[in-house]
């Protein structure tokens, strides 16, 4: 028994020493939109030994915002398009992030919560499914186009999320007409006419760092090395600020 314990301890110490840091534990929140689970998980698994992941689907995932569960993960990664939420769930959700739980929001997660304006404030964006008034301005239903080859321009080359990433080409779904909050820091843009110009940004929501990446619909993006690098650096930045 003692030998086993020492062996386990040594394995732990070795693993810990190799990477030098405690892994960042991401909680990927899904639900409300289908996706290629296997390939998506492969992308998560390839983020490297310093990032571990767990998946939580709505509505069960609402429990993970409760104070007693917040120590179980370091960064929320949104890959959901959930709509239904109660007043009590809204309060706990917003408070969790406001108190500092960082968020990396991907792709269709900007289409979630059509009737909850505070969510739009959290991520600093909203794809509208219906005419929506946002801060006094009327937004019409947005549009999307699948399978577009387009160029992504890195606007902030010094930023921790984009460092080492040059402008690149991607094959993905584009969105057009969505709201982007004034004052966000744009990280990625495109000139493709089927898309909004700003397709990646970062902001703060009270104590929490937020990073939003519009791309991420399907396998070509999951396997795109530039996107993987952006996702990894977004998780590290959201968690550590570096």
List C-alpha distances in Å: 206 to 92, 97, 127, 231, 232. 15, 8, 22, 22, 23
Task: In angstroms, give the least distance from the CB of 173 to Zn ion.
Answer: 4
Task: In angstroms, give the least distance from the CB of 172 to Zn ion.
Answer: 8
Contact 52, 27 (CB under 8 A): no
Q: Does 172 bind Zn ion (CB under 5 A)?
A: no
Q: Does 217 bind Zn ion (CB under 5 A)?
A: yes
Footprint on residues 108-147 left by Zn ion (CB under 5 A): 108
Of 199, 27, 210, 19, residue with least CA distance to 103: 210
Query: And the tokens for 20?
Result: 């030098």
Task: In angstroms, give the least distance from the CB of 68 to Zn ion.
Answer: 33
- Using CB under 5 A as the binding criterion, the count of chain residues that bind Zn ion stands at 3
In terms of CB distance, is 119 or 175 closer to Zn ion? Answer: 175
Choices 38-46, 87-95, 120-128, 170-178 (CB under 5 A): range interacting with Zn ion:
170-178
Task: In angstroms, give the least distance from the CB of 192 to Zn ion.
Answer: 15
Task: In angstroms, give the least distance from the CB of 49 to Zn ion.
Answer: 29
Distance, CA of 5 to CA of 1 (rounded, Å): 6
- What is residue 33's DSSP assignment? S
Binding residue for Zn ion, selected from 74, 173, 181, 192, defined by CB under 5 A = 173
- Tokens 């314990």: give the residue: 5
In terms of CB distance, is 80 or 108 closer to Zn ion? Answer: 108
Distance, CA of 160 to CA of 164 (rounded, Å): 9
Virtual torsion, Cα 56, 62, 63, 65, nearest 10 deg:
100
Residue nearest to Zn ion (CB): 217
Q: Does 80 bind Zn ion (CB under 5 A)?
A: no
**Distance from the Cα of residue 106 to its chain's centroid:** 4
Query: And the tokens for 72?
Result: 């179980």
In terms of CB distance, is 185 or 194 closer to Zn ion? Answer: 194
In terms of CB distance, is 101 or 217 closer to Zn ion? Answer: 217
Task: In angstroms, give the least distance from the CB of 218 to Zn ion.
Answer: 7
Interacting residues toward Zn ion by CB under 5 A: 108, 173, 217
């Amino acid at each position: 028994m003692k030998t086993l314990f020492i062996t386990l301890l040594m394995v732990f110490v070795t693993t810990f020493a190799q990477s030098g840091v405690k892994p960042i534990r991401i909680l990927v929140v899904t639900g409300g939109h289908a996706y290629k689970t296997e390939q998506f998980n492969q992308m998560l698994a390839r983020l490297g030994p310093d990032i571990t992941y767990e998946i939580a689907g709505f509505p069960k995932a609402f429990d993970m915002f409760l104070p007693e569960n917040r120590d179980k993960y370091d960064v929320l990664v949104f890959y959901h398009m959930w709509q239904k939420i109660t007043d009590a769930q809204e309060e706990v959700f917003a408070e969790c992030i406001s108190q500092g739980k960082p968020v990396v929001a991907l792709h269709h997660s900007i289409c979630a919560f059509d009737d909850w304006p505070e969510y739009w404030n959290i991520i600093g964006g909203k794809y509208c499914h219906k005419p929506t008034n946002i801060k006094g301005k009327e937004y019409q239903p947005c549009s999307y186009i699948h399978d577009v080859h387009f160029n992504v321009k890195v606007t902030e080359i010094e930023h921790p999320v984009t460092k080492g990433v040059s402008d690149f080409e991607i094959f993905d779904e584009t969105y057009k007409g969505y709201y982007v909050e004034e004052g966000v820091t744009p990280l990625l843009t495109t000139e493709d006419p089927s898309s909004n110009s700003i397709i990646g940004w970062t902001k703060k929501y009270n104590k929490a760092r937020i990073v939003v990446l519009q791309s991420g619909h399907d396998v070509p993006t999951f396997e795109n090395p530039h996107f993987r690098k952006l996702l990894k650096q977004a998780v590290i930045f959201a968690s550590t600020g570096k």
